Amino acid sequence: MTATQGPSAGDGVIGTPDTSSTADTPVSGRDTVAEVVRQWRAVHPDLDTGPMEVIGRINRCAALFQQAEDAPLRRAGLTRPEFDLLGALRRTGHELTPSELARETFSSGAAVTKRLKQLTERGLVERRGDTRDRRVAHVRLTDAGRELVDGILPSQLAYENAVLSGLGPVELGDLAGLLGGLLAQLEGRLGALRA
Amino acid sequence: MTATQGPSAGDGVIGTPDTSSTADTPVSGRDTVAEVVRQWRAVHPDLDTGPMEVIGRINRCAALFQQAEDAPLRRAGLTRPEFDLLGALRRTGHELTPSELARETFSSGAAVTKRLKQLTERGLVERRGDTRDRRVAHVRLTDAGRELVDGILPSQLAYENAVLSGLGPVELGDLAGLLGGLLAQLEGRLGALRA
DNA sequence: GAGAAATTATTCACGAGTAAAATACCTGTT
DNA sequence: AACAGGTATTTTACTCGTGAATAATTTCTC
């Protein structure tokens, strides 16, 4: 699929009304992605580097989060995927089957199986077989699991808040809104784009 | 900087306020993270779920990108980390040592070693020992490697553009700007926050 | 200059995720 | 009732990244 290389959209996409010049440093300040984009432009001045400025930054932010954001989690001996699983059980408030956990957690069934094994051994979740359909299992938090999640969550949120404290409330709100719009589009339309 | 950010709060960007308990309800519309946040609020109405709306969405976007965004890459038999490595060599325009590649690529030295081994076997990069310091190696793209990168890049960017096409140019510009600000903060201040 | 400390790159053992096969079970059709 | 086909979950074989140890070399310090 050869999409029309944004002819006019080319360099205008990002710098639209706000930033000062088109010559150097066309985008916001000094993060590493900006430098990367600058290098690419020097080598391929014809390409539309707009997407990089969004996707590259999202990927980089996510990578940094994974390294640092989860400090309170790791202190409790949990990885982020493990916490996501426990959190899914906590926030839905009821039992979930492994398949539902996989869907809720955006991970594969096999990964859920492995995590459940570990979490069961640690006494954080329990399993119960369905009486009608003996293929399915129902997983629920133990008291210890629920207490662990409830104990971690506030400090985790406080930590995330600190991580984001560089932006003001208005900017965070805007960012959340824009990301929500993007994500809604991605989730709705991405499966179909898998060309 | 950022164009006239939404007057008042950030809830207007996407749409419909929802039917929740708390007074301020910036949860925008219809992505999965919004639903997750809603569930958390029902269970813990006292917690500030603001950070989730940003961090959760960034992580989720990154996960979706990893699944889908790289379609043109995989068609060329490259993973995203491999392409990042080749891209670093291409965009800097000169040779890089493995350590520099690790820094540029945000990955560990061991990972770079492994990738270099594979890419060398495929004839995409070459290595050369430093004459002054015999510990260091210098890595450069072969002609085939450079052609591969240059061949992939346009379609990869076009693909990314399509992925982002749900947002308009202004929104993408704002998003890039906000993410750049966040990232600059994270990169500058995150190492110190590792408590 | 000789030995200590630092730096560069690689190797190793391991943990975690995945896709695909395997297992166990249910349901509808005949 | 029996069989085909579908679904839920687990197992298997494999890949990939990581941190810690290792090897090789340079640089610092006296």
CATH label of the domain that carries residue B90: 1.10.10.10
User: How far from each other are the two terminal CA atoms of chain B, in whole angstroms?
Assistant: 32
Number of structural domains chain A divides into: 2
The pLDDT value given to residue B30: 83
Share of chain B above pLDDT 70, in %: 81
Closest residue, by C-alpha, to the C1' of C26:
A133
Distance CA A87, CA B40 (A): 9
CB contact under 8 Å between B164 and A51, yes or no, is: yes
Residues of B in contact with A59 (CB under 8 A): 62, 65-66
Taking an 8 Å cut-off on Cβ atoms, the answer to whether A183 and B31 are in contact is yes
Shared domain check, B147 and B85? yes
Judge whether A105 is closer than 8 Å to chain B, CB to CB. Answer: no
User: How many CB atoms neighbour CB B57 within 10 A?
Assistant: 28
B51 CA → C1 C1’, Å: 60
Boundary (domain end) residue, out of B16, B44, B69 = B69
Q: Is the pLDDT of residue A12 over 50?
A: no
CA distance B66 to B143: 28
Q: How far is A77 from chain B (nearest CA, A)?
A: 15
User: Has residue A26 got a pLDDT over 50?
Assistant: no
Final residue belonging to a domain, choices B69, B103, B129: B69
Q: Are residues A116 and A127 in the same domain?
A: yes
Q: What is the pLDDT of residue B28?
A: 55
CA of B105 to C1' of C8 (A): 17
Average pLDDT over residues B28-51: 91
Q: Which residue range is the domain that position A137 belongs to?
A: 72-155
Q: Mark which residues 35-74 of A lie under 8 Å from B by CB.
A: 36, 39-40, 42-44, 47-55, 57-66, 68-69, 71
* Residue B180 neighbours by CB under 8 Å, 6+ apart: A27, A28, A29, A31, A33, A34, A53, A57
In a domain, residue A120? The reply is yes
Q: A11: distance to nearest CA of chain B, Å?
A: 11
**DSSP per-residue letters across chain A:** ------TTHHHHHHHSSSSS-SSS--SSS--HHHHHHHHHHHH-TTS--HHHHHHHHHHHHHHHIIIIITHHHHHTT--HHHHHHHHHHHHH-S-B-HHHHHHHHTS-HHHHHHHHHHHHHTTSEEEEE-SS-TT-EEEEE-HHHHHHHHHHHHHHHHHHHHHTTTS-HHHHHHHHHHHHHHHHHHHHHTGGG--
Percent residues over pLDDT 70 in chain A: 81
Query: Residue B135: pLDDT above 60?
Result: yes
Residue B6 in this model has a pLDDT that exceeds 90: no
Q: Does the pLDDT of residue A13 top 90, yes or no?
A: no
Q: Which of B69, B94, B125 is the last residue of a domain?
A: B69
pLDDT at B29: 62
Mark whether B119 and B51 lie in a shared domain.
no
Question: B113 and B56 in one domain?
Answer: no
Report the alpha-carbon distance of residue A164 to residue A180 in Å, rounded. 17
Interface check for B169 against chain A (CB to CB < 8 A): the answer is yes
Band of pLDDT at residue B68, cut at 50, 70 and 90 = confident
Band (pLDDT 50/70/90 cuts) for residue B66 is confident
Q: Are residues B92 and B106 in the same domain?
A: yes
Q: Is residue B58 part of a domain?
A: yes
User: Cβ of residue B67 near strand C, that is under 7 Å?
Assistant: no
Question: Is the C-beta of residue A94 closer than 7 Å to nucleic acid chain C?
Answer: no
CA distance A22 to B128: 38
- Nearest chain B residue to A41 by CA distance is B91
pLDDT for the residue B141: 97
Which nucleotide is nearest to B102 if distance is taken from CA to C1'? C9
Q: Are residues A56 and A82 in the same domain?
A: no
Q: What is the mean pLDDT of residues B173-192?
A: 85
Residues A85 and A137 in one domain: yes
- Domain-embedded: residue A163: no
How many cross-chain Cβ pairs, A to B, lie less than 8 Å apart?
A: 300
pLDDT at A29: 60
Confidence at A70, pLDDT banded by 50, 70, 90:
confident
> A48-57, A132-141, B2-11, B112-121: which has the minimum mean pLDDT?
B2-11
Distance CA A151, CA A50 (A): 42
- The mean pLDDT value of chain B amounts to 84
**Residues A51, A80: one domain?**
no
Pick the more confident residue, B35 or B2: B35
Chain mean position to CA A144? 27
In this structure, is residue B129 part of a structural domain?
yes
What's the token pair of residue A51? Answer: 């997407």
| 3 state SS for chain B | CCCCCCCCCHHHCCCCCCCCCCCCCCCCCCCHHHHHHHHHHHHCCCCCCHHHHHHHHHHHHHHHHHHHHCHHHHHCCCCHHHHHHHHHHHHHCCCECHHHHHHHHCCCHHHHHHHHHHHHHCCCEEEEECCCCCCCEEEEECHHHHHHHHHHHHHHHHHHHHHCCCCCHHHHHHHHHHHHHHHHHHHHHCHHHCC
Chain B CB within 8 Å of residue A144 CB: no
Q: Is A5 a member of any domain?
A: no
Look at residue B193 and tell me if it is in a domain: no
B78 and B65 part of one domain = no
User: What is the torsion angle, in degrees rounded to the nearest 10, for the CA atoms of residue B90, residue B94, residue B96 and residue B100?
Assistant: -80
Q: Are residues B88 and B117 in the same domain?
A: yes
Give the Cα separation of B106 and B103 in Å (integer): 5
Let me know whether A100 and A138 are in one domain: yes
Which residues in A lie closer than 8 A to residue B44 (C-beta atoms)? 150, 153
Cα–Cα distance for residue pair A58/A39, rounded to 1 Å:
19
Q: Minimum mean pLDDT among A128-142, B37-51, B65-79, B180-194: which range?
A: B180-194
Asked whether residue A189 is assigned to any structural domain, the reply reads no
Stated in angstroms, how far is B162 CA from D15 C1'? 30
Q: How confident is the model at residue B22 (pLDDT cuts 50, 70, 90)?
A: very low
Is A107 inside any structural domain? yes
User: Does residue B82 share a domain with residue B147?
Assistant: yes
pTM of the model: 0.83
pLDDT-wise least confident of A13-17, A105-109, A111-115, B40-44: A13-17
